[in-house]
């Protein structure tokens, strides 16, 4: 079995990225015994919109340190930078020859980003899901842990794998998304009907993993909730408190139903204060490990080794794909 997933190094990582994705990687690395893990920094994806090169370089390193600080074990996981394994680009192009334009135009993330962007839309923003499909199919991944917002891209990846297999013979494993039942979509703290997003303009909406811990406390205490007083999970009518219950449950590993009982008759204020303490206690050791890792040479060794292991597999796969397409001069 193989597991593949990636995160873009654009901006600061959020608690949503952690709870929706990284936490699953950590849980699965312990649970799944006979599985090879390929976790990467999706730097090619981040240049689909303009980036500052100094910041991007820092963010790539920072994301590697965050992965490890959160508990990713480099003995079990191949951790690497996407742009260092050129086969991603090679298969990405093959996937562009497999995908139809309307299929890509239908992607909701593309439609959203296109709307928000004032400057010219780059071609790669549209073809992005073809590269993402390549990231996954290159390693014959069986399982792809992601948050809710990547579901549509995963469905497209499956379609592309099936189409290629049907046209050229069995080549790719058709991957399965792995979306957590709780935490697949962490919401904004100021507007709980919207996803918590790296690119949110209001810093109060987002808890960043590397946020100042006092700021984290204040953000949670001022999170938008409703005018009711009962602490219970009701996604539709009480999205704010439901989001906070989700976060509470994931950082403490206590089921939501038990948290509701624990806070019966208590105020939102008490609940938010407790949650603020729990989140801060959770983030503190991650931030400490992060600071130590960022400066260490070990980080580069891990990324070098991860790249070499990934390339070994990716190289063989792209040869096979090229052969299927007739792109091999010598048989
Ligand atoms: P990205 O960088 O936007 O997000 C990384 C991961 O975090 C999840 N996520 C969330 N989960 C819960 N609540 C939220 N508010 C939240 N915000 C983000 C995302 O679902 C994702 O799992 N295209 C991908 C990166 C990628 C990839 C891949 C993933 C490139 N190639 C191959 C898997 C396999 C992206 O932009 O994720």
Q: 7 C-alpha to center of ligand 1: Å?
A: 5
| Confidence category of residue 242, pLDDT binned at 50, 70, 90 | very high
The ipTM is 0.99
Q: Which residues are annotated as a binding site for ATP?
A: 8-10, 16-17, 147-149, 186, 195-199
Give pLDDT, residue 117.
75
What is the reported pLDDT for 324?
A: 97
Q: What is the best residue among 5, 11, 14, 17 to mutate for testing ligand 1's pocket, by most ligand atoms within 8 Å of CB?
A: 17
pTM: 0.96
Per-residue pLDDT at 11 = 82
In contact, 284 and 213? CB cutoff 8 Å: yes
- The pLDDT tens digits of the residues spanning 49-74 come to 889 999 999 999 999 999 999 999 99
The pLDDT confidence band at residue 7, using thresholds 50, 70 and 90, is very high
> Edge-to-edge strand order for the sheet containing 2-7?
77-81, 36-41, 2-7, 143-145, 176-178
Q: 87 CB less than 6 Å from ligand 1?
A: no
- Ligand 1: which of 37, 149, 177, 180 to mutate, judged by most atoms within 8 Å of the beta carbon? 149
Judged against a pLDDT cut of 80, whether residue 105 lies above it is answered with: yes
Residue 137, Cβ neighbours under 10 Å: how many?
A: 26
pLDDT 10s digits, 113-129: 888 877 788 999 999 99
How far does residue 148's CA lie from ligand 1's centre (Å)? 8
Query: Can you say which residues are annotated as belonging to the binding site?
Result: 8-10, 16-17, 135, 147-149, 186, 195-199
Reported for 101-106, long-range contacts at CB under 8 A and 24+ positions apart, including other chains, are: 101/126, 103/156, 103/159, 104/129, 104/130, 104/156
Residue with the nearest Cα to atom 19 of ligand 1?
147
Cα–Cα distance, 152 to 129 (Å, whole number): 9
Residue ranges of domains in the chain: 2-179+297-325, 203-291
CA of residue 253 to ligand 1 center, whole Å? 22
Tracing tokens 């209001």 back to the chain, one arrives at: 202
- What is the spatial distance between Cα 132 and Cα 67, in angstroms, rounded to a whole number? 20
Query: For residue 61, how far is its CA from the centre of ligand 1 (angstroms)?
Result: 18
Residue 331 has pLDDT above 90, yes or no: no
Asked if pLDDT for residue 211 goes beyond 80, the answer is: yes
CB-CB contact of 29 with 160 (8 Å):
no
> 215 Cβ partners below 8 Å, 6+ apart?
203
Please provide the DSSP assignment of 65-94 as one string.
HHHHHHT--TTTEEEEEGGGSTHHHHHHHH
CB of 92 closer than 6 A to ligand 1? no
Q: Which of 43-47, 282-286, 296-300 has the lowest mean pLDDT?
A: 296-300
Domain 203-291 is found in CATH 3.30.70.3270: no
Determine the pLDDT at residue 114.
85
- Fold of the domain built from segment(s) 2-179+297-325: Rossmann fold (3.40.50)
301's tokens: 């060794």
Binding-site annotation: residue ranges for L-tryptophan: 135
3-class SS at 136? helix
Active site residues: 113, 195, 198
Cβ-Cβ contacts under 8 Å for 34 (sequence gap 6 or more): 1
Instruction: Give the number of the atom of ligand 1 that is nearest the alpha carbon of residue 184.
Output: 12
pLDDT at 139 over 80: yes
pLDDT at 295 (0 to 100) = 84
CA distance 18 to 67: 9
């Amino acid at each position: 079995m193989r597991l593949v997933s990636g995160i873009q190094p654009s901006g600061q990582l959020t608690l949503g990225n952690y709870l929706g994705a990284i936490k699953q990687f950590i849980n699965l690395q312990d649970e799944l015994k006979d599985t090879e893990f390929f976790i990467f920094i999706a730097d090619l994806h981040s240049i689909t919109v303009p980036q500052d090169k100094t910041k991007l370089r820092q963010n790539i390193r920072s994301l590697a340190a965050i992965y490890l600080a959160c508990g990713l074990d480099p003995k079990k996981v191949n951790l690497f930078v996407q742009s260092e394994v050129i086969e991603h680009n090679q298969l990405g192009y093959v996937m562009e020859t497999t995908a139809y334009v309307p299929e890509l135009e239908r992607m909701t993330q593309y439609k959203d980003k296109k709307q928000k962007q004032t400057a010219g839309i780059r071609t790669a923003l549209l073809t992005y899901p073809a590269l993402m499909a390549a990231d996954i199919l290159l390693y014959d991944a069986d399982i792809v842990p992601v948050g809710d917002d990547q579901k549509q891209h995963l469905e497209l990846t499956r379609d592309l794998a099936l189409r290629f297999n049907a046209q050229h013979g069995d080549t790719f494993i058709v991957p399965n998304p792995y979306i957590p039942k709780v935490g697949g979509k962490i919401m904004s703290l100021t507007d709980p009907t919207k996803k918590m997003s790296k690119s949110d303009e209001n810093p109060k909406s987002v808890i960043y993993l590397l946020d100042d811990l006092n700021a984290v406390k204040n953000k949670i205490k001022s999170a938008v909730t409703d005018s009711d007083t009962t602490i219970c999970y009701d996604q539709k009518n009480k999205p704010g408190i439901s989001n906070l219950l989700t976060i509470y449950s994931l950082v403490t590993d206590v089921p939501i139903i038990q948290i509701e009982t624990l806070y019966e008759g208590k105020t939102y204020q008490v609940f938010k204060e407790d949650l603020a303490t729990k989140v801060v206690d959770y983030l503190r050791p991650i931030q400490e490990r992060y600071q130590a890792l960022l400066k260490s040479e070990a980080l580069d060794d891990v990324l070098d080794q991860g790249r070499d292991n990934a390339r070994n597999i990716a190289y063989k796969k792209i040869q096979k794909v090229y052969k299927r397409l007739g792109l091999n001069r010598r048989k």
